[in-house]
Amino acid sequence: MALSDDLFARALKVIPGGVNSPVRAFRSVGGAPFFVKAAHGATLTTADDRELIDFVCTWGPAIHGHNHPVIKTAIAKALENGTSFGTPNPYEVEMAELITRFVPSIQKVRMCNSGTEATMSAIRLARGFTGRDKIVKFSGCYHGHSDSLLIKAGSGALTHGNPDSAGVPASFAQETVVVGFNDRDALEAAFAANPGKIACVILEPYPANVGLILPAPGYLKFVRELCTREGAVLIFDEVMTGFRLAKGGVQEIEKIVPDLTTLGKIIGGGLPVGAFGGRADIMDKLAPVGPVYQAGTLSGNPLAMAAGIAGLKLLDELNPYSRLDTLGRQVRDTLAAAARAKGIAAQVPQVGSMFSIFFTPDPVTDYASALKASAPLFARFFRDCLDHGVYLPPSAYETCFISTAHQGEAIDRACEVMAGAVKRL
């Protein structure tokens, strides 16, 4: 029996579904997940010594490729002095100063341990700041698994057919208003139906948890202006896009200033980190200064901070974004050409180092149009790529990530494999 199969059989006995996060379970693409024992650069090495070119990049953090020597050295150096102090430490200050420098809208920031904690806390903060209870989210956007946000959620929730998770009390769900992304009228109507009651609007400015969707021209500006008019806090969930598409994230690209921003993934350098920050007048509502409580045993952990600081400084030094966009265009153009040659309808949205593929003839502009794409065809495409050594996110409702380590042989080989997979559909 292959080692991965043996590990999965053991895992199934003691871990629900054999995985610690549902989207890893391969349930929507068929087959059993493989287990990874090592990751370097653009490559994963499975328990059975298969080498795979990785486009999941641990769901975003590995923008410099896996196990980058600069990040590894930073962790090792921090480790010499211990793993956790439970007190303020110098790394936290340096991390906060870096984040506020990279993202000017963030005047103050609070570290936590995951994107879920970041968005959950940002929503509580917006409710505490405004004294209002309702929140607005967009169908298909995924902001982690806190109760208020598991309503019409994307990513693993959508992949496994429970975008409205069981276990969320109706009394919680009714405080969450869900509207379609890119739908101006629906957002106007949500405010009209809840005058003075909406604490915040939270969105992924480039939704990437139903596959990748880009905002219609002017849409983000419209959302910003509506929130300002209605006194609602605008939260950009940049857990995925933060530092991924620009040092300052989507808000730098689109020149929109949110009131709060949530971050994660890249700022941990591969270790568990989340963060939320924004206007000082809002952030100062947080304990111990203000009445909104939020806390965390390992928040600002020195090892995680050291890893994240090293990764952010490397971005500052290398400024890899145009290189990453070139790699993204190479993949997009390869897939689009292969689909045309095969006569298969496909959309291949791409921005910077993020791309996805929808097997559908129509442009994908929101959750509803994303659902029209063929998930079974994606599963066949996924399986063929994996059989030929390229690992994509195991779900039609995720986005692929490219790292600087993909440049050269890895991206060329992967493009060959993905073009061949389209041809064999």
Name the residue among 414, 383, 314 with its Cα closest to residue 71.
314
Q: Candidates 54, 175, 183, 204: give the one binding ligand KE4 (CB under 6 A).
A: 204
Choose the stretch contacting ligand KE4; rule: CB under 6 A; options: 7-15, 46-54, 137-145, 160-168: 137-145
C-alpha distance from residue 32 to each of 5, 266, 315, 330, 398 (Å): 8, 28, 35, 30, 18
CB of 194 to ligand KE4, least distance (A): 24
Active-site annotation holds for 372: no
Choose the stretch contacting ligand KE4; rule: CB under 6 A; options: 111-119, 163-171, 175-183, 404-412: 111-119
**Angle between the N-to-C axes of helices 219-230 and 184-193, in degrees from 0 to 180, rounded to the nearest 10:** 10
The pattern of x and - marking residues 65 through 104 that bind ligand KE4 according to CB under 6 A reads: ----------------------------------------
Q: Work out whether 406 is an interface residue with ligand KE4 (CB under 6 A).
A: no
Beta carbon nearer to ligand KE4, 143 or 422: 143
Q: Work out whether 276 is an interface residue with ligand KE4 (CB under 6 A).
A: no
Q: Candidates 112, 151, 227, 240: give the one binding ligand KE4 (CB under 6 A).
A: 240
Q: Candidates 121, 209, 251, 360: give the one binding ligand KE4 (CB under 6 A).
A: 209
Q: Which two tokens stand for residue 163?
A: 């975008």
CB of 22 to ligand KE4, least distance (A): 7
From 137, 265, 366, 397, active-site residue: 265
> Among the residues of 319-408, which ranges form H helices?
321-342, 367-371, 375-387
* Ramachandran bin of 415, using left for φ above 0, alpha for ψ from -120 to 50, beta for the remaining angles: alpha
Residue 172 CA to chain centroid, in angstroms? 24
Q: Candidates 116, 139, 261, 294: give the one binding ligand KE4 (CB under 6 A).
A: 116
Beta carbon nearer to ligand KE4, 180 or 205: 205
Q: Work out whether 23 is an interface residue with ligand KE4 (CB under 6 A).
A: yes
**Angle between the N-to-C axes of helices 302-318 and 69-79, in degrees from 0 to 180, rounded to the nearest 10:** 150
Q: What share of the chain is helix, strand, coil (3-state, %, to 5)?
A: 45, 15, 40
C-alpha distance from residue 248 to each of 44, 118, 288, 312 (Å): 29, 17, 28, 11
Choose the stretch contacting ligand KE4; rule: CB under 6 A; options: 38-46, 112-120, 322-330, 365-373: 112-120
Round to whole Å and give the CA distance between 200 and 45. 43
Contact between 377 and 30 under an 8 Å Cβ cutoff? The reply is no
* Interface ranges with ligand KE4 (CB under 6 A): 21, 23, 59, 114-116, 119, 142-144, 155-156, 204, 209, 237, 239-240, 264, 274, 398
Which active-site residues does the annotation give? Answer: 142, 237, 265
